[in-house]
Amino acid sequence: MYVVVGETKFNNFRKNKTTLGGSVTFFGEDVAIGVKLEDQITLGKRIVLAGNAGTVQSREESAYEANVEVRLREDDFPIGQNQSALGLSLTKSKEEDLTLSANLRSQVSIGRQTNVAAFASLDTKRTGRFAVRTSSSDQLQIAFMAIFPLAMSIYKRVVGSGDN
């Protein structure tokens, strides 16, 4: 599989950023072509409105998506990295498959070196997703976060091999 991606960004006005991008993906004898357009407007210091639309086409099939998002940032952004966002997505794939999704995400700094991000979404097909992610620039905390999944994996292999 080969992927070629291009994107350009430009500022229309002082508080308006526009992005135009495209991609071409080659997998076997199939080719998928995608295009997106995104616009972001800053209202005051704290509120950002963002919207984007895109399409991907391969063979005879096409998929379309449009998103609208409102972000609320911390007063001293970009120094303070706390922010929350509420978004709506409309996706159309195949002939009659139309899905509306709502999502909420939030990022909070805990201390100077650790961030916690949470994401939740729910769509009209009654499927959803919830995720929590932590990141840290403190090397000791990163080491502890890496050791736990590794230890669990080793434990499962040892206990799993004893059952056979």
CATH number of the structural domain spanning residue 34? 2.40.160.50
Q: What sign does the CA torsion over 135, 46, 130, 19 have?
A: negative
User: Number of folded domains in the chain?
Assistant: 1
Say what the pTM is: 0.68
Question: What is the per-residue pLDDT for 96?
Answer: 73
pLDDT tens per residue, range 44-56:
888 999 999 999 9
pLDDT tens per residue, range 88-145:
999 998 777 889 999 999 998 887 777 889 999 999 988 999 998 888 776 666 667 7
What are residue 47's DSSP bridge partners? 43, 72
Residues of the domain holding 95: 2-163
Mean pLDDT of the chain: 86
Q: What is the DSSP string of 95-111?
A: TTEEEEEEEEEEEEEET
Q: What sign does the CA torsion over 70, 72, 77, 83 have?
A: negative
